[in-house]
Structure 1
Amino acid sequence: MSKEQLKQAQQFIEAIPHAKALGMEITEISDGIAQLEMDYDARFVGDSETGVISGGAVSALMDTCCGAAVMSHPDVAGATATIDLRIDYMRGATPGERVIARAEVYHLTRTVAFVRAKSYDNDRANPVATATGAFTAEKKA
């Protein structure tokens, strides 16, 4: 991860109010790949009986991670926006544990980036959720 990529990615996160409010942190950024993490926070609990973080918080983490992956792609010029994002929830994140999202651009056209993502907690063998999405992307000339 270059200092410039990290700087751009951090600016991207800080420009998104919900990403900042959820405490998202970029832990990896490279050519078309991003990893963001979010600490467990009782404010984001969706089920008070189990203490499981809400699907909305996980969704926001995954969407933001996908956007960061698109912006880090070496052939993309400028910002991005979500066109479509499908998230499949496999299980609730373990209460008290950090949630990690990792996304990768797997195909890029002139105007659209296609991304796959996975989120997990300490149990990396069993994802919390998976996602596939399409994002706007202006390909460099």
Structure 2
Amino acid sequence: MEEDDPRMRTARQFIDAIPHASALGMTVRAVGTGRVVVDMPWDERLIGDPARGVIHGGAVSALMDTTGGAAVISHDEAPLATATLGLRIDYMRAARPGEAIRAEAEVYHMTRHVAFVRATATDGGEGPVATATGTFTVERAPGGTRGSRGS
């Protein structure tokens, strides 16, 4: 994805505006129509299990929630803003100590007021660390969408 891509700029601005996303070191890696990939580096400050060095599930949850919101904002219907209505996360296994976690989220259905999102978190190991489904508000400009992505 090119740096001058409007979706990439929108997703990065969305994530940069969230203080905890910056504190967790989240970085947008790829963006498509209603699809976003975000990385979060391993950091000892995020450890939830000191004996094993495993990142806390709350950090994984924040990553998946933020990635889901970024997917909504990057959708072609171009909502102005979004907020999480509901998020269900299924943790499959502990993330590997010392490994970054990558979340991929995509909008699979969007109504006038609600976006439905699926997300997966991985760390390069076998199988996902977690999967999620979420619902997010879709806040539009009066009279429709905000126009073209280039504006």
TM range (shorter): over 0.9
In structure 2, the residue matched to 1:21 is 23
In structure 1, the residue matched to 2:92 is 90
In structure 1, the residue matched to 2:73 is 71
The answer to whether the aligner puts 1:127 opposite 2:146 as a matched pair is: no
Q: Amino acid of the residue matched to residue 136 of structure 1? A: T
Deviations 1:90-134 (A, max 9, x none): 1110000010000010001110000000001012x4100000000
Q: Amino acid of the residue matched to residue 44 of structure 2? A: A
Tell me which of 114, 117, 124 is aligned to 1:115: 117
Matched residue SS, 1:76: coil
Tell me which of 57, 60, 83 is aligned to 2:59: 57
Question: How many angstroms apart in 2 are the aligned matches of 1:57 and 1:47?
Answer: 12
Matched residue SS, 1:77: coil
Matches within 5 A, 1:35-54: 35-54=37-56
Quote the sequence identity (%).
Answer: 56
In structure 2, the residue matched to 1:32 is 34
Greater share of strand residues, 1 or 2?
Answer: 1
Larger Rg: 2
Q: Amino acid of the residue matched to residue 131 of structure 2? A: T
Q: Judge conservation of contact 1:76–1:138 (CA < 8 Å) in 2.
A: no
Question: How many angstroms apart in 2 are the aligned matches of 1:117 and 1:6?
Answer: 18
Matched residue SS, 2:60: helix
Give TM-score scaled by structure 1 length. 0.95
* 1:135, distance to aligned residue in structure 2 (A): 0.2
Listed as ranges, the gaps of 5+ residues in structure 1 are: none
Structure 1 moving runs of 4+ over 2 Å: 138-141
Deviations 1:47-83 (A, max 9, x none): 0000000000000000000000000000132010000
Q: Amino acid of the residue matched to residue 135 of structure 1? A: F
Matched residue SS, 1:40: coil
Q: Amino acid of the residue matched to residue 53 of structure 2? A: G
Give TM-score scaled by structure 2 length. 0.89
Deviations 1:10-32 (A, max 9, x none): 11111100000000000011100
Question: How many angstroms apart in 2 are the aligned matches of 1:77 and 1:128?
Answer: 29
Compare 93-102 and 2-11 and name the one that shifted more: 2-11
